[in-house]
Chain A
């Protein structure tokens, strides 16, 4: 019997057997979760917080080396070195917080620990989008309807044409530029996407219905902006103020801008990095998209097959995987979104072997290949057609 509409040469029964094998893998991991996994996430959280704190302290300390102080250690080079080190530490902390910690905690990957301080229901992340709102569109809509046109909000984020099956509009001509802007402001793009303002603008929803959500996002944005762009720069100013009043040291404006700039660069670096990783997840060459008809009456096993065909991995070292939140194992993440991310590398080996046994494509490649083909797709699909480029 062959009733499924998936682009694989397998019978219904074979797909169900494939699903059973994946279920067995899932069970195995669930049964073996334990102290080592707990140590991993607790240690990572401690390292991440220490890096954020160290970054902030280094950034403030760099002020002490500004040449205007005219003391023995003051030098422009020293100032820039400390500022760069602090910014790097802060940027890495922000990346780890969003990717390997925030994203995965919000997927309920660590809820099994029952630790009240690491629960998806109460975790708030360092991001302008309130975590519960993000969980709604990401965990529910994106992960349930992965790559289903008209259902998955992450296919081009309602902005880009990322599949030839999406109807071309003249608006798409500018999409290389939109993509660049999205990369620079990715954090904000995610927050805006959650609000689904499109519904409001097309008058499908009234301001009253989006109002409460808008206010919550507004409060979150205010708190984030206060921390990164106001509180820390003002602290730098407050620390130098007594000296400035006595006529010594750098100008308050220099101090403010130095601290502000460091925070802004850290946030920008995080936006670019997360964009880079996330765009490699579902857009590279040979990835499949699906129609609503194809997922009609989908079984759990077929859902597995769809997740495999619609996700792409990126090769890399251990540090790269941690910094990418193990989304470099996007396939494993989409098969098992609520298993602890530190288990994905181990699962990847087995999933890949399983896929080859069943003749199911396993889309993996270097960062260059995956991001390169994604960029080509963005450019190609800005023009009409492109069926061959996205031949899925």
Chain B
């Protein structure tokens, strides 16, 4: 385990709790007592955190808000942060990141995430269509530095598009709950009025709070230049928010929007005041034909070029590494490792693995384009 911060010395209570846990775990070795507590109520388990789906609510025709009740290990979060969520689809476990859309001040200890079904996205589709009240989903702790300063007052300008509205909603509701909503401007892009996640909520907030100015911009498709008055432009920004030069900007949306914003604010010398939230793609493009690529071994810090037929185990060995291995024919799983990013092809089946974080067998897989392995 890499540790970047010195851990504070544990206090007496922590030490006592650890001692009790060690004692109770000695009854359940090699599992932990928590594995048996989980049988009674998964939310009481401490070895892994889960959340129970308490409510599902359709925001638009393809976006749904899930109200989740987290397990005992849950910790508070800052408005704008995200969590990792595990979702079993067809027996396989996938992990995706979602921004929390409710404010931390919510009093029932629950939180919400709002998921939009992406075209062709199995995972988001599953969350939007198949998850039911009472399901348990594995979750991680809240993360991310996309949040408002805790105390220092700033005048925010939110620029969001599509499901990028979720952190803005959390931040707005949080500021309102803390009774410190300052002069706020919000520009939101969506294809149509009825496609806006939280569309009604934003409008109602704008009616109730004179200091919150909401500017929805409807466009057929963000990122396509042809739509008149659609996507982001300097002229549009000047019109909707003339004082943008004096604001902290919080932007969340597709890559095309963020790129345009970075260019504009960079040119204006305000790059430091532009805060963006982007999620790394969870899976890589599959190249059209069998091609090699650049293979990176994350732990060893080694990078080499490989072809489409040499097994990654051989590639590693030829690069002077000696990763664990066994049968070299794909049966013993001694060489299994995680695909950090990119694409690999199973030489036995020709099947391509491109899901970041999935387990692959280097002795029977070759690179299919660039890839990075946890070796």
- Listed in ascending order, the chain A residues whose CB lies under 8 Å from chain B are 23, 27, 30, 33-38, 46, 49-50, 52-53, 56, 107-108, 111-117, 119-121, 124-126, 135-136, 139-140, 143-144, 223-224, 226-227, 231-232, 235, 300, 303, 337-338
The 8 A CB mask of B72-84 against A (1 = contact, 0 = none) is 0000000000000
Q: B336 to chain A: which residues have CB within 8 Å?
A: 108, 111, 120-121
- Listed in ascending order, the chain B residues whose CB lies under 8 Å from chain A are 26-31, 35-36, 39, 48, 86, 88, 90-94, 138, 326-327, 329, 331-334, 336, 348-349, 355, 357-359
Task: Find out whether the CB atom of B334 lies under 8 angstroms from the CB atom of A224.
Answer: no
Task: Find out whether the CB atom of A124 lies under 8 angstroms from the CB atom of B91.
Answer: no
Task: Find out whether the CB atom of B349 lies under 8 angstroms from the CB atom of A143.
Answer: no
User: A140-B334, A300-B329 are contacts. A227–B29 as well, Cβ < 8 Å?
Assistant: yes
Task: Find out whether the CB atom of A338 lies under 8 angstroms from the CB atom of B333.
Answer: yes
Task: Find out whether the CB atom of B359 lies under 8 angstroms from the CB atom of A119.
Answer: yes
Q: B92 to chain A: which residues have CB within 8 Å?
A: 38, 112-114
B3 to chain A minimum Cβ distance, whole angstroms, is 20
Task: Find out whether the CB atom of B333 lies under 8 angstroms from the CB atom of A120.
Answer: yes
A-B contact count (CB 8 A): 103
Task: Find out whether the CB atom of B331 lies under 8 angstroms from the CB atom of A144.
Answer: yes
A30-B349, A52-B36 known; 17 other A-B pairs, CB under 8 Å?
Answer: A27-B349, A38-B91, A49-B36, A49-B39, A50-B39, A111-B333, A112-B92, A114-B357, A116-B138, A126-B30, A139-B326, A139-B332, A139-B334, A144-B332, A224-B29, A227-B27, A231-B27
User: A46-B39, A143-B327, A227-B29 are contacts. A35–B90 as well, Cβ < 8 Å?
Assistant: yes
Q: B357 to chain A: which residues have CB within 8 Å?
A: 114
Task: Find out whether the CB atom of B334 lies under 8 angstroms from the CB atom of A33.
Answer: no
**A112 to B90, alpha carbons, bound, how many Å?**
11
**A56 to B48, alpha carbons, bound, how many Å?**
24
A194 to chain B minimum Cβ distance, whole angstroms, is 14
Name the residue among B29, B48, B91, B94 with the largest chain A CB count within 10 angstroms: B91
Return the 9 tightest CB-CB contacts between A and B, nearest first. A140-B326, A38-B91, A108-B333, A124-B30, A139-B332, A115-B93, A114-B93, A144-B327, A34-B91
**A324 to B266, alpha carbons, bound, how many Å?**
66
A212 to chain B minimum Cβ distance, whole angstroms, is 15
Task: Find out whether the CB atom of B26 lies under 8 angstroms from the CB atom of A231.
Answer: yes
- Provide 29 A-B residue pairs closer than 8 Å at the C-beta atoms, listed in order of the A residue: A30-B349, A34-B90, A37-B91, A50-B39, A107-B333, A111-B336, A112-B91, A112-B92, A113-B88, A113-B93, A114-B355, A114-B357, A114-B358, A115-B86, A116-B48, A116-B93, A116-B138, A139-B332, A140-B332, A140-B334, A143-B332, A223-B29, A226-B26, A227-B26, A231-B26, A231-B27, A232-B27, A300-B329, A338-B333
**A186 to B247, alpha carbons, bound, how many Å?**
72
Chain B interface, >50% SS class: loop
Q: B36 to chain A: which residues have CB within 8 Å?
A: 49, 52-53
User: A38-B88, A232-B27 are contacts. A136–B93 as well, Cβ < 8 Å?
Assistant: no
Q: B91 to chain A: which residues have CB within 8 Å?
A: 33-38, 112-113
Task: Find out whether the CB atom of A125 lies under 8 angstroms from the CB atom of B30.
Answer: yes
**A49 to B32, alpha carbons, bound, how many Å?**
11
Name the residue among B36, B334, B348 with the largest chain A CB count within 10 angstroms: B334
Name the residue among A56, A121, A303 with the largest chain B CB count within 10 angstroms: A121
**A318 to B39, alpha carbons, bound, how many Å?**
25
User: A38-B88, A53-B39, A113-B91 are contacts. A136–B27 as well, Cβ < 8 Å?
Assistant: no
Task: Find out whether the CB atom of B30 lies under 8 angstroms from the CB atom of A223.
Answer: yes
Q: A33 to chain B: which residues have CB within 8 Å?
A: 91
A230 to chain B minimum Cβ distance, whole angstroms, is 8
Task: Find out whether the CB atom of B331 lies under 8 angstroms from the CB atom of A338.
Answer: yes
Task: Find out whether the CB atom of A226 lies under 8 angstroms from the CB atom of B94.
Answer: no
**A176 to B39, alpha carbons, bound, how many Å?**
44
B17 to chain A minimum Cβ distance, whole angstroms, is 19
Q: A136 to chain B: which residues have CB within 8 Å?
A: 326, 334
User: A140-B326, A223-B26, A227-B27 are contacts. A115–B88 as well, Cβ < 8 Å?
Assistant: yes
Task: Find out whether the CB atom of B331 lies under 8 angstroms from the CB atom of A337.
Answer: yes
Least CB separation from B357: chain A residue: A114
Least CB separation from B358: chain A residue: A114
Q: B358 to chain A: which residues have CB within 8 Å?
A: 114
B142 to chain A minimum Cβ distance, whole angstroms, is 19
Q: B359 to chain A: which residues have CB within 8 Å?
A: 111-112, 114, 119, 121
